[in-house]
Amino acid sequence: MLPKRCKLVISKNIHNINADIAKYCELSNKDPRKVTLIGASKSQSIEKIQEAYLAGLTHFGENYLQEAEEKISKLDDKIIWHFIGSLQSRKAKKVAEIFDWVHTVDTYKVAKKLNDSRPESKGLLNVCIQINIDSEDTKSGLSEDLLEGFIEDTLNLKNLKFRGLMVIPKPREAIEDQKIVFRKVNLINESLKKKGFKFDTLSMGMSTDYGAAIQEGATMIRIGTGIFGPRQ
């Protein structure tokens, strides 16, 4: 059982982040209802996730399949689950069976496995394509020049609904520097939309840079430490 103080901290953090969402949307003339807060709950206990859910959070993101399976089986089935970790093709089958969203697709092999494994009863699986905006060797994601070809290759995957782009840029301290990279992602997304791809999602922004991300068009932000505090 969580201490009362811990419950209050989680609830207060969610309230404060929602207030920030409203503030940053006002600064950029955006509708705050179009920004979804995802609780990045990797390594967090079922009790903490339940407390966040009781405080009004309905979207949660998990990085590891085995850890997520237990949480999904024990928590309310109204929760919307997002897979936000690196995804290997051998784990794609189970991910397709239990998650509502996958944010980290960057190979046709994984996309095909997700598509072929998606149960008809679950409906279409929402997918974001991860791009490597800073061309970092240590990070997954497609380069910008491969993006359009990848999307065209996946048009035959009828059990997937490609919603947009996901990005994890390298850390930048200054908010203006953060905004520059997020603006670049938004421009890529808008360019794809002009070519006929029906994208409506930009998954970008975490605890240290979500303000910049929202101002540059994020529709989903993934917050872990800002909600749950530092992982123990």
Residue 21 falls within a domain, yes or no? yes
Residue 18 falls within a domain, yes or no? yes
Residue 230 falls within a domain, yes or no? no
182, 204 Cβ separation under 8 angstroms = yes
Residue 231 falls within a domain, yes or no? no
Tens-digit pLDDT string for the chain (232 aa): 788 889 999 999 999 999 999 999 999 999 999 999 999 999 999 999 999 999 999 999 999 999 999 999 999 999 999 999 999 999 999 999 999 999 999 999 999 999 999 999 999 999 999 999 999 988 999 999 999 999 999 999 999 999 999 999 999 999 999 999 999 999 999 999 999 999 999 999 999 999 999 999 999 999 999 999 987 6
The CATH number assigned to the domain holding 44 equals 3.20.20.10
Q: Which domain holds residue 203?
A: 4-224
Residue 232 falls within a domain, yes or no? no
What pLDDT, on the 0 to 100 scale, is given for residue 2?
84
Q: How many CA atoms lie within 13 A of 168 on its CB side?
A: 16
Report the distance separating Cα 231 and Cα 2, nearest Å. 15
What pLDDT, on the 0 to 100 scale, is given for residue 232?
62
- As given in the structure block, the two tokens for residue 24 are 């940053």
Q: pTM for this structure?
A: 0.96
Selection from 140, 198, 128 nearest residue 168 by Cα? 140
**Domains: count for the chain:** 1
Helix, strand, coil percentages for the chain (3-state, nearest 5): 45, 20, 35
Q: What is the DSSP letter of 166?
A: E
Residue 28 falls within a domain, yes or no? yes
- Calculate the dihedral angle through the C-alpha atoms of 33, 202, 75, 22, rounding to the nearest 10 degrees: -30
Q: Is the dihedral of CA 131, 133, 138, 143 positive or negative?
A: positive
Residue 229 falls within a domain, yes or no? no
Residue with tokens 């979804």: 36
Residue 69 falls within a domain, yes or no? yes
Report the distance separating Cα 183 and Cα 178, nearest Å. 9
